[in-house]
Amino acid sequence: MPLLNPTGLWLPLITPFRDGVLDETSLRRLVRHYAAGPVDGLILAATTGEGMTLDAGETERVVAIAAEESMQPLILGLSGSDTRKLVKEIAHTADWPIAGTLIACPYYVRPSQDGLIRHFSALADATDRLILIYNIPYRTGVNLGNEAMLRLAERPNIVGVKDCCADARQSFELLRDRPAGFSVLTGEDALFYTALTQGADGGILASAHVETEAFAAIRNRLLTGDQPGALAAWRDLSELPPLLFAEPSPAPIKHWLWRTGLIDSPELRLPMTGVSDAVAARLDREIDRRRPAGGVARAGDRQPGLVPA
Protein backbone atom coordinates (compact mmCIF):
# COMPACT_ATOMS: atom_id res chain seq x y z
CA MET A 1 0.00 0.00 0.00
CA PRO A 2 1.24 3.56 -0.65
CA LEU A 3 2.44 5.65 2.28
CA LEU A 4 -0.20 7.84 3.88
CA ASN A 5 -0.16 10.49 6.55
CA PRO A 6 -2.76 9.32 9.06
CA THR A 7 -5.28 11.94 10.07
CA GLY A 8 -8.73 11.94 11.61
CA LEU A 9 -10.18 9.33 13.93
CA TRP A 10 -8.35 6.00 14.22
CA LEU A 11 -9.66 3.16 16.33
CA PRO A 12 -7.32 0.85 18.27
CA LEU A 13 -9.63 -2.12 17.90
CA ILE A 14 -10.21 -4.50 20.80
CA THR A 15 -9.66 -8.20 20.16
CA PRO A 16 -12.67 -10.31 21.19
CA PHE A 17 -12.11 -13.65 22.90
CA ARG A 18 -14.47 -16.43 23.92
CA ASP A 19 -13.58 -19.54 25.90
CA GLY A 20 -9.91 -18.70 25.61
CA VAL A 21 -9.73 -18.39 21.83
CA LEU A 22 -10.09 -15.64 19.26
CA ASP A 23 -13.79 -14.94 18.67
CA GLU A 24 -13.83 -14.56 14.90
CA THR A 25 -17.60 -14.09 14.70
CA SER A 26 -17.51 -11.12 17.04
CA LEU A 27 -14.42 -9.73 15.33
CA ARG A 28 -16.16 -9.74 11.96
CA ARG A 29 -19.20 -8.04 13.49
CA LEU A 30 -17.01 -5.36 15.06
CA VAL A 31 -15.04 -4.61 11.92
CA ARG A 32 -18.19 -4.36 9.79
CA HIS A 33 -19.77 -2.06 12.36
CA TYR A 34 -16.86 0.40 12.41
CA ALA A 35 -16.31 0.15 8.66
CA ALA A 36 -19.79 1.61 8.23
CA GLY A 37 -18.96 4.62 10.42
CA PRO A 38 -16.66 7.65 10.38
CA VAL A 39 -13.47 5.85 11.42
CA ASP A 40 -10.50 6.69 9.19
CA GLY A 41 -8.54 3.53 9.96
CA LEU A 42 -8.03 0.67 12.39
CA ILE A 43 -5.07 -0.13 14.61
CA LEU A 44 -4.89 -3.90 15.15
CA ALA A 45 -3.29 -6.00 17.89
CA ALA A 46 -1.99 -2.98 19.80
CA THR A 47 -2.35 -2.31 23.54
CA THR A 48 -6.15 -1.98 23.45
CA GLY A 49 -6.22 -5.09 21.26
CA GLU A 50 -4.25 -7.06 23.89
CA GLY A 51 -1.61 -7.66 21.25
CA MET A 52 0.97 -8.95 23.71
CA THR A 53 -1.31 -11.89 24.50
CA LEU A 54 -1.81 -12.88 20.86
CA ASP A 55 0.37 -15.53 19.28
CA ALA A 56 1.69 -15.03 15.75
CA GLY A 57 -1.09 -17.05 14.16
CA GLU A 58 -3.81 -15.16 15.98
CA THR A 59 -2.31 -11.81 15.02
CA GLU A 60 -2.20 -12.80 11.37
CA ARG A 61 -5.80 -14.00 11.58
CA VAL A 62 -6.96 -10.71 13.11
CA VAL A 63 -5.36 -8.83 10.22
CA ALA A 64 -6.82 -11.17 7.60
CA ILE A 65 -10.35 -10.88 8.99
CA ALA A 66 -10.15 -7.10 9.24
CA ALA A 67 -8.95 -6.90 5.64
CA GLU A 68 -11.79 -9.14 4.47
CA GLU A 69 -14.47 -7.08 6.23
CA SER A 70 -13.23 -3.51 5.71
CA MET A 71 -11.64 -1.31 3.06
CA GLN A 72 -10.21 1.02 5.71
CA PRO A 73 -6.42 1.25 6.05
CA LEU A 74 -5.05 -1.10 8.69
CA ILE A 75 -2.03 -0.50 10.90
CA LEU A 76 -0.51 -3.27 12.99
CA GLY A 77 0.64 -2.61 16.54
CA LEU A 78 4.14 -3.83 17.40
CA SER A 79 6.26 -3.51 20.51
CA GLY A 80 9.40 -4.93 21.99
CA SER A 81 12.81 -4.12 23.41
CA ASP A 82 14.98 -6.04 20.93
CA THR A 83 15.54 -4.17 17.68
CA ARG A 84 16.62 -7.33 15.84
CA LYS A 85 13.44 -9.18 16.79
CA LEU A 86 11.26 -6.30 15.66
CA VAL A 87 13.08 -6.17 12.32
CA LYS A 88 12.25 -9.87 11.89
CA GLU A 89 8.60 -9.27 12.86
CA ILE A 90 8.34 -6.50 10.29
CA ALA A 91 9.81 -8.81 7.64
CA HIS A 92 7.32 -11.53 8.63
CA THR A 93 4.41 -9.16 7.89
CA ALA A 94 5.73 -8.07 4.48
CA ASP A 95 2.86 -9.73 2.61
CA TRP A 96 0.11 -8.83 5.07
CA PRO A 97 -2.65 -6.43 3.91
CA ILE A 98 -1.57 -3.58 6.18
CA ALA A 99 -0.53 -0.01 5.47
CA GLY A 100 2.15 -0.03 8.13
CA THR A 101 2.94 -0.39 11.81
CA LEU A 102 2.46 1.49 15.07
CA ILE A 103 5.61 0.81 17.07
CA ALA A 104 6.00 1.66 20.74
CA CYS A 105 9.26 2.86 22.21
CA PRO A 106 11.24 -0.02 23.72
CA TYR A 107 9.89 -0.74 27.17
CA TYR A 108 11.69 -1.38 30.46
CA VAL A 109 15.26 -1.07 29.12
CA ARG A 110 15.11 2.74 28.98
CA PRO A 111 17.55 3.45 26.10
CA SER A 112 19.17 6.82 25.52
CA GLN A 113 17.83 9.26 22.94
CA ASP A 114 20.59 8.12 20.59
CA GLY A 115 19.51 4.52 21.16
CA LEU A 116 15.91 5.43 20.33
CA ILE A 117 16.97 7.17 17.12
CA ARG A 118 19.02 4.17 16.05
CA HIS A 119 16.23 1.76 17.00
CA PHE A 120 13.55 3.46 14.92
CA SER A 121 15.99 4.14 12.08
CA ALA A 122 16.76 0.42 11.86
CA LEU A 123 13.06 -0.36 11.78
CA ALA A 124 12.46 2.25 9.08
CA ASP A 125 15.27 0.70 7.01
CA ALA A 126 13.56 -2.69 7.30
CA THR A 127 10.36 -1.68 5.48
CA ASP A 128 8.94 0.56 2.78
CA ARG A 129 5.68 0.83 4.70
CA LEU A 130 4.72 3.63 7.03
CA ILE A 131 5.77 3.67 10.66
CA LEU A 132 3.92 5.54 13.38
CA ILE A 133 5.90 5.99 16.57
CA TYR A 134 4.01 5.36 19.82
CA ASN A 135 5.47 7.57 22.54
CA ILE A 136 3.97 6.61 25.90
CA PRO A 137 6.63 6.98 28.62
CA TYR A 138 4.33 6.14 31.54
CA ARG A 139 4.06 2.62 30.11
CA THR A 140 7.50 2.13 28.56
CA GLY A 141 9.67 4.00 31.04
CA VAL A 142 11.35 6.13 28.35
CA ASN A 143 10.29 9.38 26.68
CA LEU A 144 11.23 10.08 23.07
CA GLY A 145 12.04 13.79 23.22
CA ASN A 146 11.20 16.26 20.49
CA GLU A 147 14.76 16.66 19.26
CA ALA A 148 14.98 12.93 18.59
CA MET A 149 11.42 12.87 17.23
CA LEU A 150 12.22 15.58 14.70
CA ARG A 151 15.35 13.71 13.62
CA LEU A 152 13.23 10.63 12.99
CA ALA A 153 10.59 12.69 11.18
CA GLU A 154 13.20 13.24 8.45
CA ARG A 155 12.82 9.57 7.49
CA PRO A 156 10.31 9.33 4.60
CA ASN A 157 8.40 6.38 6.04
CA ILE A 158 8.26 7.58 9.65
CA VAL A 159 5.10 9.54 9.06
CA GLY A 160 3.84 10.46 12.51
CA VAL A 161 3.38 9.75 16.18
CA LYS A 162 0.71 8.58 18.57
CA ASP A 163 1.41 11.13 21.27
CA CYS A 164 0.92 10.05 24.87
CA CYS A 165 3.94 11.83 26.31
CA ALA A 166 1.82 13.31 29.16
CA ASP A 167 3.74 16.58 28.92
CA ALA A 168 1.56 19.42 27.61
CA ARG A 169 4.54 21.60 26.72
CA GLN A 170 6.30 18.81 24.83
CA SER A 171 3.14 18.06 22.85
CA PHE A 172 2.59 21.73 22.00
CA GLU A 173 6.18 22.27 20.92
CA LEU A 174 6.08 19.17 18.73
CA LEU A 175 2.96 20.49 17.01
CA ARG A 176 4.71 23.83 16.54
CA ASP A 177 8.01 22.48 15.22
CA ARG A 178 7.10 19.35 13.26
CA PRO A 179 7.75 19.28 9.52
CA ALA A 180 4.95 19.36 6.98
CA GLY A 181 3.39 15.95 6.48
CA PHE A 182 4.35 14.57 9.89
CA SER A 183 1.11 13.57 11.64
CA VAL A 184 0.54 14.05 15.34
CA LEU A 185 -2.37 11.97 16.63
CA THR A 186 -3.21 12.19 20.30
CA GLY A 187 -3.61 8.94 22.18
CA GLU A 188 -4.91 10.67 25.29
CA ASP A 189 -8.64 10.24 24.97
CA ALA A 190 -9.47 12.78 27.68
CA LEU A 191 -7.39 15.43 25.87
CA PHE A 192 -8.84 14.90 22.40
CA TYR A 193 -10.57 18.29 22.14
CA THR A 194 -7.60 20.17 23.58
CA ALA A 195 -5.15 18.45 21.24
CA LEU A 196 -7.30 19.28 18.21
CA THR A 197 -7.54 22.96 19.16
CA GLN A 198 -3.72 23.06 19.33
CA GLY A 199 -3.35 21.59 15.86
CA ALA A 200 -3.27 17.81 16.26
CA ASP A 201 -4.30 15.91 13.15
CA GLY A 202 -6.69 13.62 14.99
CA GLY A 203 -6.61 10.87 17.55
CA ILE A 204 -6.11 7.16 18.12
CA LEU A 205 -8.84 6.77 20.71
CA ALA A 206 -9.96 3.60 22.48
CA SER A 207 -12.98 5.54 23.79
CA ALA A 208 -14.20 5.94 20.20
CA HIS A 209 -15.46 2.36 20.33
CA VAL A 210 -18.38 4.17 21.98
CA GLU A 211 -20.19 7.17 20.43
CA THR A 212 -17.90 6.95 17.42
CA GLU A 213 -19.87 9.45 15.36
CA ALA A 214 -19.78 12.01 18.14
CA PHE A 215 -15.99 11.80 18.47
CA ALA A 216 -15.58 12.23 14.72
CA ALA A 217 -18.03 15.15 14.67
CA ILE A 218 -15.90 17.15 17.10
CA ARG A 219 -12.98 17.26 14.68
CA ASN A 220 -15.27 17.89 11.71
CA ARG A 221 -16.84 20.87 13.46
CA LEU A 222 -13.45 22.35 14.27
CA LEU A 223 -12.34 21.92 10.65
CA THR A 224 -15.38 23.92 9.51
CA GLY A 225 -14.77 26.66 12.07
CA ASP A 226 -17.62 25.69 14.39
CA GLN A 227 -15.66 25.91 17.62
CA PRO A 228 -18.72 26.54 19.84
CA GLY A 229 -20.44 23.46 18.39
CA ALA A 230 -17.32 21.35 18.88
CA LEU A 231 -17.00 22.50 22.49
CA ALA A 232 -20.65 21.74 23.20
CA ALA A 233 -20.27 18.26 21.71
CA TRP A 234 -17.11 17.66 23.74
CA ARG A 235 -18.87 18.66 26.95
CA ASP A 236 -21.32 15.81 26.37
CA LEU A 237 -18.52 13.33 25.62
CA SER A 238 -15.89 14.43 28.11
CA GLU A 239 -17.08 12.11 30.90
CA LEU A 240 -16.82 9.01 28.71
CA PRO A 241 -13.02 8.58 28.62
CA PRO A 242 -12.64 8.68 32.43
CA LEU A 243 -15.41 6.11 32.74
CA LEU A 244 -13.95 3.84 30.05
CA PHE A 245 -10.55 4.04 31.78
CA ALA A 246 -11.90 3.77 35.33
CA GLU A 247 -10.24 0.35 35.47
CA PRO A 248 -7.47 -1.06 33.25
CA SER A 249 -8.36 -0.85 29.57
CA PRO A 250 -9.83 -2.53 27.61
CA ALA A 251 -12.01 -4.17 30.29
CA PRO A 252 -14.60 -1.34 30.53
CA ILE A 253 -14.77 -1.04 26.74
CA LYS A 254 -15.28 -4.77 26.34
CA HIS A 255 -18.06 -4.69 28.94
CA TRP A 256 -19.77 -1.88 27.00
CA LEU A 257 -19.44 -3.66 23.66
CA TRP A 258 -20.74 -6.90 25.18
CA ARG A 259 -23.72 -5.15 26.78
CA THR A 260 -24.63 -3.50 23.49
CA GLY A 261 -24.35 -6.71 21.48
CA LEU A 262 -21.26 -6.02 19.39
CA ILE A 263 -19.24 -8.83 20.97
CA ASP A 264 -20.42 -12.10 22.46
CA SER A 265 -18.25 -12.03 25.57
CA PRO A 266 -16.33 -9.38 27.56
CA GLU A 267 -13.54 -11.90 28.14
CA LEU A 268 -9.94 -10.74 28.50
CA ARG A 269 -6.67 -12.62 28.76
CA LEU A 270 -4.60 -12.62 31.91
CA PRO A 271 -3.12 -10.61 33.40
CA MET A 272 -6.05 -8.42 32.33
CA THR A 273 -9.32 -9.10 34.14
CA GLY A 274 -12.94 -8.03 33.78
CA VAL A 275 -14.45 -4.98 35.39
CA SER A 276 -15.52 -4.89 39.01
CA ASP A 277 -19.20 -4.97 39.91
CA ALA A 278 -19.05 -1.28 40.85
CA VAL A 279 -17.64 -0.18 37.49
CA ALA A 280 -19.99 -2.54 35.64
CA ALA A 281 -22.92 -0.82 37.34
CA ARG A 282 -21.60 2.61 36.34
CA LEU A 283 -21.15 1.46 32.76
CA ASP A 284 -24.63 -0.03 32.66
CA ARG A 285 -26.16 3.22 33.90
CA GLU A 286 -24.32 5.22 31.23
CA ILE A 287 -25.34 2.75 28.52
CA ASP A 288 -28.96 3.13 29.57
CA ARG A 289 -28.64 6.92 29.67
CA ARG A 290 -27.31 6.99 26.12
CA ARG A 291 -29.97 4.73 24.63
CA PRO A 292 -32.00 6.21 21.76
CA ALA A 293 -34.90 8.50 22.75
CA GLY A 294 -37.78 6.59 24.23
CA GLY A 295 -35.55 4.03 25.90
CA VAL A 296 -35.75 1.47 23.09
CA ALA A 297 -32.79 -0.92 23.26
CA ARG A 298 -30.63 -1.39 20.21
CA ALA A 299 -30.56 -4.75 18.47
CA GLY A 300 -28.47 -7.15 20.49
CA ASP A 301 -28.51 -5.12 23.69
CA ARG A 302 -28.07 -7.24 26.77
CA GLN A 303 -29.68 -6.52 30.07
CA PRO A 304 -27.71 -5.53 33.18
CA GLY A 305 -26.58 -8.41 35.33
CA LEU A 306 -26.39 -11.05 32.62
CA VAL A 307 -23.33 -13.26 32.83
CA PRO A 308 -21.47 -14.05 29.57
CA ALA A 309 -21.77 -17.63 28.39
Question: What does each of the 309 residues of the chain score in pLDDT, given as a tens digit?
Answer: 556 789 999 999 999 999 999 999 999 999 999 999 999 999 999 999 999 999 999 999 999 999 999 999 999 999 999 999 999 999 999 999 999 999 999 999 999 999 999 999 999 999 999 999 999 999 999 999 999 999 999 999 999 999 999 999 999 999 999 999 999 999 999 999 999 999 999 999 999 999 999 999 999 999 999 999 999 999 999 999 999 999 999 999 999 999 999 999 999 999 999 999 999 999 999 999 998 643 333 434 444 333 332
**Domain segments of the chain as ranges:** 8-226
User: What integer pLDDT is reported at residue 11 of this predicted model?
Assistant: 98
User: What integer pLDDT is reported at residue 3 of this predicted model?
Assistant: 67
State which amino acid sits at residue 43. I
Distance CA 98, CA 75 (A): 6
Closest among 19, 16, 10, 95 to 261, alpha carbons compared: 16
CB 201 within 8 A of CB 7: yes
* CA-to-CA dists, residue 281 to 114, 259, 285, 286, angstroms: 47, 11, 6, 9
Q: What is the pLDDT of residues 197-242, one digit of tens each?
A: 999 999 999 999 999 999 999 999 999 999 999 999 999 999 999 9
Q: Is 108 considered catalytic here? A: no
Of the residues 34, 134, 193, 254, only one is catalytic, namely 134
Q: Is 134 considered catalytic here? A: yes
Distance CA 154, CA 157 (A): 9
CATH node for 8-226: 3.20.20.70
User: What integer pLDDT is reported at residue 195 of this predicted model?
Assistant: 97
Of the residues 34, 162, 193, 254, only one is catalytic, namely 162
Return binding residues for pyruvate. Answer: 48, 204
Provide the 8-state DSSP code for 182. -
User: What integer pLDDT is reported at residue 4 of this predicted model?
Assistant: 79
User: What integer pLDDT is reported at residue 305 of this predicted model?
Assistant: 34
CB 106 within 8 A of CB 80: yes
pTM (two decimals): 0.93
